[in-house]
Amino acid sequence: MKNFIPGAAMAVALSLSVSVPAFADLRVFACEPEWGALSEEIGGDHVDIYTATTGGQDPHHIQARPSLISRARRADILICTGATLEIGWLPQVVRQAANRNIAEGQPGYFEATSVVTMLEVPSSVDRSQGDVHAPGNPHIQTNPHNIALVARALGQRFIELDPANASVYQARLADFLQRWDAALLRWEAEAAPLHGLPVVTQHQSWIYLEDWLGLDRVAVLESQPGVPPSSGHLAEVVSTLQDQPARMVIRAAYEDDRPTHFIAERLGIPAVELPFTVGGNDAADDLFGLYDETLRRLLAAAAQE
Amino acid sequence: MRHLLNAAALAGLTSIASPAFADDDLSSIRAEIDAMRSEYQSRISELENRLAEAETRAANAEATANSARTAVAAIPPAATVAPRAMPVSSASRTADNAFNPGISVVLNGQYAASSEDPDGAGVSGFALDEEAGRPERGFNLGESEIVLTANIDPSLYGNLTFALTPEGEAEVEEAYIQTTALGGGVTLRGGRLFSGIGYLNEVHGHNWSFSDQPLPYRALLGGQYGDDGVQLRWLAPLDQYVEFGAELYKGDSFPAGGAANGGTGTQAVWVRTGGDIGDSSSWLASASYMNAGADDRDIDGSSFTGDETLGILSLVYKWAPGGNRREQNLTLSGEYFFDTMEGEFDAVPISLDRSGWYAQGVYQFRRRWSVGLRYAALTPDSVPAALAGSVFDADGVDPWAATALLEFDTSEFGRLRAQFTHDETGPVANDEFRLQYTVIYGPHSAHRY
């Protein structure tokens, strides 16, 4: 047993050498980059943000890693998409973090999907349908109107949790919404040519984008959500699309690129990789960049004949 | 309702939170909250009245569908005040099952073939627990599990796991309550639970990387240590993950026995740390110590009274490109075990120093397909002449086993495995082949790291 004690002591010493971060008024644990970016817009210097996933990661499939648990331990507020998107890891992180601020039902537990209108809410759920989300499709960040709704609710929540800085949050929120509304006008004007455009998507990630831009989704490459497309199903999609042509095939940056390239080559239509969230590619470096880049890529693909 | 809860929670929070508040700030906030509360209260009762009215109207509605439609149409805009209040309250009023626990089922079955008869097969130099033997030949149901979990109230969480053995018996594998709201990084768990020592000890069978536990777990912990007791965890408030655990158990499970020490026969402590290396890699390391008292523990008809102490050093490393485990990932892990046994074996003084280790890797090389390799070995101690021929006499054998695995996942919830093990844990080598399925259905909690 003598051998074991130095090992433990070493582990403790190692851990204590880690420095404590600079002081901030609110510690934010953001499950996805879009909510980290939004917290930054509203909180500025008054928030210390940890973003649990990167723009290159699939938020459905994350492990309850030690780093997430230690960050959740000290968070004042947890900002996640919700609607069971993070069901595979977040409950474990929250339970192990033993932080009552971020327990479900507390002001420090914030689900973005709680303040928007959910689309594709299934009337029944069964695992034979693949990765279905009972509360509806959770990928709400692909419609910028949802970002504005979440911003308002989140600003309110920051004020509740940190009333000392209420005026700062209020002002930053107002400023953000003003810039956002201006951007919305611009985006919607730019996106006019996309209205009614028939598209194919790899995963059902884009319903809110389709809804916003009036895109017409004619097929999905995954036969069931989250189930990788089989070659048989892809062949079916190809034959569907021969009758009902689509103008492009869309996937998120983190997804396997083979199915979209297969379809794109077969049908001679562009395969479009969209950032999906902040950090999904270099140009999508903040929320404004995310939509600028998304529209730029869609418009470029739509311009191809 | 949500806003109301938030307001109430905020009221609670202000009493403990930020030192920045002055007293008048507090009272003005309280006043605001009170105002909000009464406002929401009145809006909600108004809503409830309108809903009741609407329902009456709809029910009585000889008065035509039209009037009912208008009544219902009147509800949505008002309902936006508290979007979640309506569905929740109406559901809980009507559904008796609204608070049912999450119930999930693990089914597991296998086919096993082995070159030597598994019946009574042991590990030279080690006394095995009855559950740590080799699988029976042929088709076996394997161990199925029924897991029931739920929040009990705002401060407690409960978990009950039944293990259904191939013999058709139901055992309580885990049955514990756990605090959820102590705060300060402290979690208290009590009941019957798996100890947090080592890396694999508290991992349920359906979540093991191989079909069976590595040799040191089988030989030194009877597979895994679970007992009746309490566990205290504390997560340090650091960016680096550091967690401490202290546990106290009755001492009724292998390698303890007879609930020594007035029913507190087993004590354990552990510390864990871990983190990320870039986006693609993460790791977890831990050191654990357990002392298991034995009071007349039965070992194949003989009796052992004394203490078995166990130290475990564990290291786990996981890799996935960019942190996306879907297509490819790699998990490497290894643990080293130090074991000492001091006491009397059938009235003969005994003092053994033994050790063991394993190293394993599982590589998912494409979506759904994984391969794994594991090597495990044990080092027995030499025994005095008085114990020659006893279960602790390894007779010159240094037990080891090597395992290869091929796995196919139908989804996150179903998998098929083929596993081959060559083991030289006894005087005669044994080759074992298993085909196994494991499936999970129902709402199943997210797994640990």
Query: Predicted confidence band at B23 (pLDDT cuts at 50, 70, 90)?
Result: low
> Who contacts B13 (Cβ-Cβ below 8 Å, separation ≥6)?
A107, A161
d(CA B105, CA B376): 31
Interface probe with B: pick from A2, A3, A4, most Cβ of B within 10 Å: A4
Our CA-based measurement puts residue B443 at a distance from the nearest CA of chain A, in whole angstroms, of 10
* Higher-scoring residue by pLDDT: B54, B205: B205
- Of the partner residues B25, B238, B412, the one whose CB lies closest to the CB of residue A15: B238
**Weakest-pLDDT range from A150-159, B233-242, B259-268, B332-341:** B259-268
- Residues B345, B349, B351, CA angle at the centre, nearest 5°? 95
In one letter, which amino acid is A99? N
- DSSP sequence for chain A: -TTHHHHHHHHHHHHHTSPPPPP-SEEEEESSHHHHHHHHHHHGGGEEEEESS-TTS-TTS----HHHHHHHHT-SEEEE--TTTTTTTHHHHHHHHT-GGGSTTSTTEEEGGGGS---S--SS--GGG-S--TT----GGGSHHHHHHHHHHHHHHHHHH-GGGHHHHHHHHHHHHHHHHHHHHHHHHHTGGGTT-EEEESSS--HHHHHHHT-EEEEESSSSTTSPPPHHHHHHHHHHHHHS--SEEEEETTS-SHHHHHHHHHHT--EEEE--STTSSTT--SHHHHHHHHHHHHHHHHH--
Nearest by CB: A11 against B182, B184, B285: B285
Partners of residue B181 in chain A, C-beta under 8 Å: 100, 103
A124-133, B37-46, B243-252: range with lowest mean pLDDT:
B37-46
Tell me what pLDDT residue B224 has: 95
| CA–CA dist B315, B284 (Å, integer) | 6
Name the percent of chain A lying above pLDDT 70. 92
Handedness of CA B213, B216, B221, B226 (dihedral sign): negative
Cβ distance B446 to A89 less than 8 Å, yes or no, reads: yes
List A residues 41-80 in contact with B (Cβ-Cβ < 8 A): 53-54, 56-58, 61-67, 69-71, 73-74
Q: Does residue A6 sit at the B interface (CB-CB below 8 Å)?
A: no
A142, A289, A121, A286: which is closest to A215 by C-alpha?
A: A142
For residues A124 and A196, the model is more confident at A196
In one-letter notation, the amino acid at residue A285 is: D
Report the 10 Å Cβ neighbour count for A55: 24
Cβ of residue B25 closer than 8 Å to a chain A Cβ:
yes
Q: A92 and B447 in contact by Cβ < 8 A?
A: yes
The closest CB to that of B183, out of A53, A99, A127, belongs to: A99
B447 interface with A at CB cutoff 8 Å: yes
Tell me whether residues B327 and A256 touch, CB distance under 8 A: yes
Q: Which CATH superfamily is domain A21-120+128-186 in?
A: Nitrogenase molybdenum iron protein domain (3.40.50.1980)
Interface touch B282/A70, C-beta < 8 Å:
no
- Residue A231's pLDDT is 86
Angle (nearest 5°) at CA A34 between A33 and A38: 115
What whole-number distance in Å separates Cα of residue A70 and Cα of residue B273? 10
* Nearest in space to A141 (alpha carbons), one of A56, A232, A80, A54: A80
Out of A4, A14, A100, the one facing B181 most closely (by C-beta) is: A100
Counting Cβ atoms within 10 Å, is residue B57 exposed (0-12), middle (13-18) or buried (19+)? middle
Residue B366: its pLDDT value, please?
Answer: 92
CATH class, domain A192-303, is: alpha beta
* Average per-residue pLDDT for chain A: 90
Q: How far is B207 from chain A (nearest CA, A)?
A: 13
Q: How many CB pairs under 8 A join A and B?
A: 173
For A161, nearest residue in chain B (alpha carbons): B10
For residue B67, pLDDT over 50 is answered with no
Length of chain B: 449
**Is-same-fold flag (A21-120+128-186; A192-303)?**
yes
- In three state form, how does the secondary structure of A133-147 look? CCCCCCCHHHCHHHH
* Confidence bin at B58 (pLDDT 50/70/90): low
| pLDDT, tens digit (0-9, with 9 covering 90-100), for A168-227 | 999 999 999 999 999 999 999 999 999 999 999 999 889 999 999 999 999 999 988 888
Under a CB-based contact definition with an 8 Å cutoff, are residues A162 and A169 in contact?
yes
Residue B31 has pLDDT above 90, yes or no: no
Contacts of B6 in chain A (CB under 8 A): 107, 160
**Count of residues making up chain A:** 305
Whole-number pLDDT of residue A227: 82
Burial of B418 (0-12, 13-18, 19+ CB in 10 A): middle
Beta strand pairing call for A271-274 and A216-220: unpaired
B272 close to A (CB below 8 A):
yes
Which residue has better confidence, B8 or B113? B113
> Which residues on chain A are in Cβ contact (under 8 Å) with B307?
none
Confidence of residue B85 (pLDDT cuts 50, 70, 90): very low
Phi and psi at residue B264, to the nearest 5°: -130, 50
Picking from B187, B276, B313, the nearest residue to A98 by CB comes out as: B187
Radius of gyration of the CA atoms of chain B, in A: 28
Q: What confidence tens digit (pLDDT) does each residue in B409-428 have?
A: 998 899 999 999 999 999 99
Q: Which of A29, A73, A102, A223 to substitute to test the interface with B, most B CBs within 10 Å?
A: A73
Q: In CATH terms, is domain B105-441 a member of 2.40.160.10? A: yes
Residues of chain B with C-beta less than 8 angstroms from the C-beta of A16? 238
List CB contacts (< 8 A) between A89 and chain B: 446
* Confidence band, pLDDT 50/70/90 cuts, at residue A10: very low
Whether the ω angle into residue B237 lies within 30 degrees of 0, i.e. cis, is no
pLDDT score of A21 more than 60: no
A291-295, B26-30, B70-74, B173-177: which range is least confident on average? B70-74
Q: Rounded to an integer, what distance in angstroms lies between the CA atom of residue A44 and that of residue A30?
A: 14
Instruction: Note whether B274 contacts A: Cβ–Cβ < 8 A.
Output: yes
Amino acid (one-letter) located at B338: F
B309-335 average pLDDT score: 96
Please state, in angstroms and rounded to a whole number, the distance separating the CA atoms of residues B418 and B434: 6
Are B289 and A14 an interchain contact pair (Cβ–Cβ within 8 Å)? no
Give the pLDDT confidence score for residue B24 in this predicted structure. Answer: 61
What mean pLDDT, rounded, does chain B reach? Answer: 84
Q: Is the pLDDT of residue B11 over 80?
A: no
- Which pair of structure tokens corresponds to residue B125? 């130099």
ipTM of model: 0.87
Q: Residue B310: closest CA among chain A residues belongs to which residue?
A: A1
pLDDT of res. B64 = 44
**Per-residue pLDDT at B412:** 87
Cβ contact, residue pair A164, B311, below 8 Å: no
Query: Are the C-beta atoms of residues B140 and B167 closer than 8 Å to each other?
Result: no
Closest CA to B266 of B246, B249, B247, B245: B249
Of A1, A97, A161, nearest to B338 by CB-CB distance is: A1
CA dist., res. A60 & res. B129, Å (int): 40
Close Cβ partners of B420 (under 8 Å, ≥ 6 residues apart) = B403, B404, B405, B431, B432, B433, B434
Residues of B in contact with A12 (CB under 8 A): 242, 271
Residues 149-208 of B with CB under 8 A from A: 154, 157, 178-187
Contact list, A63 vs chain B (CB under 8 Å): 282, 318, 325, 449
| Pair A37, A62: CB distance under 8 Å | no
DSSP strand pairing (B241-249 vs B266-277): antiparallel
Task: Report chain A residues whose CB lies below 8 A from the CB of B239.
Answer: 18, 20-21, 70-71
Please state the three-class secondary structure of chain B as a single string.
CHHHHHHHHHHHHHHHCCCCCCHHHHHHHHHHHHHHHHHHHHHHHHHHHHHHHHHHHHHHCCCHHHHHHHHHHHHHHHHCCCCCHHHHHHHHHHCCCCCCCEEEEEEEEEEEEECCCCCCCCECCECCCHHHCCCCCEEECCCEEEEEEEEEECCEEEEEEEEECCCCCEEEEEEEEEECCCCCCEEEEEEEEECCCCCCCCCCHHHCCCCCCCHHHHHHHCCCCEEEEEEEEEECCCCCEEEEEEEEECCCCCCCECCHHHHCCEEEEEEEEEEEECCCEEEEEEEEEEEEEEEEEEECCEEEEEEEEEEEEEEEEEECHHHCCCCCEEEEEEEEEEEEEEEEECCEEEEEEEEEEEEEEEEEEECCEEEEEEEEEEECCCCCHHHCCCCCCCCCCCCEEEEEEEEEEEECCEEEEEEEEEEECCCCCEEEEEEEEEEEECCCCCCCC
Domain ranges for chain A, please list them. Answer: 21-120+128-186, 192-303
**Residue position matching structure tokens 């997430």:** A68
Cβ–Cβ gap B413/A127 under 8 Å:
yes
pLDDT digits (tens, 9 = 90+) for B252-275: 999 999 888 888 999 999 999 999
Q: Is the pLDDT of residue A165 over 60?
A: yes
CB of A114 less than 8 A from some CB of B: yes
Which pLDDT tens digit goes with each residue over A244-271?
A: 899 999 999 988 899 999 999 989 999 9
Asked whether B54 and B48 are in contact (CB, 8 A), the reply is no
Note the pLDDT of residue B199. 97
The beta-carbon neighbor of A1 closest among B29, B239, B340 is: B340
Q: B184 to chain A nearest CA, in Å? A: 6
State the CB neighbour count (10 A cutoff) for residue B315: 16
Nearest of B291, B294, B321, B295 to residue B309 by alpha carbon: B291
Q: Which residue has the tokens 């203490």?
A: B307
Q: What is the pLDDT of residue B74?
A: 39
Q: Do B323 and A57 touch (CB under 8 A)?
A: yes
Please check whether residue A3 touches B, CB under 8 A: yes
Query: Is there a contact between B103 and B445 (Cβ–Cβ < 8 Å)?
Result: no
Please, which pLDDT band fits residue B154 given cuts at 50, 70 and 90?
A: confident
Asked if residue A17 has pLDDT above 90, the reply is no
Integer Cα distance of B121 and A144 in angstroms: 65
Q: How far is CA B52 from the centre of its chain?
A: 46
Q: Give residue limits of the domains in chain B.
A: 2-94, 105-441
Taking CA atoms, what residue in A is nearest to B16?
A101
Q: How many CA atoms lie within 13 A of A53 on its CB side?
A: 29
Residue with the bigger pLDDT between B167 and B375: it is B375
Model confidence band, residue B133 (pLDDT cutoffs 50, 70, 90) = confident
Facing B326 at nearest CB: one of A53, A58, A71: A58
pLDDT digits (tens, 9 = 90+) for A83-113: 999 999 999 999 999 999 999 889 999 999 9
B-chain residues within 8 Å CB-CB of A100?
180-183
Question: CA-to-CA distance for B25 and B274, rounded, in angstroms?
Answer: 41
